[in-house]
Structure 1
Amino acid sequence: MDLKHVLATNLRRLRHDRDLTQEDVAELTGLSMRYVGSIERARVSATVTTLGKLAVALKVHPTELLES
């Protein structure tokens, strides 16, 4: 599994665990809801900066988003 799919799976799981919508994550990160959805569908590769924003929003260490 490539990192794009690992990130997509982990982002979706962590977001659901925290009872957040894609819109909530978008607001917390300053990203667009469309972009957050694209990351969750593994259609785009997130930058390191985006990975950091997602980690802060989800209150996890960035490595948790990339662990398979």
Structure 2
Amino acid sequence: MIRLDAFIQTLQNVDKVEILPYHTMGKYKWQEMGLKYPLEGIEPPAEDRVKNAKELLHTDNYTKYLTR
């Protein structure tokens, strides 16, 4: 995240950054289509990990949004 923050700071056209944690809400769609869910076994991050990601993006040059 620190490297991502450094990269974002080099961009002139970034107004906001949204942190969208992984979730399994679309898993049922794969099952309904009879397909194997490619992210099976991947767990969504704990709340503290998402919060930590937000804190690591610490620049004042853009607005940070934490979406949960």
**TM-score where L is the length of structure 2:** 0.29
* Structure (1/2) with the larger helix percentage: 1
Question: Greater relative contact order: 1 or 2 (C-alpha under 8 angstroms, separation 6 or more)?
Answer: 2
> Based on CA coordinates, which of the two structures has the bigger radius of gyration?
2
**TM-score where L is the length of structure 1:** 0.29
* Structure (1/2) with the larger strand percentage: 2
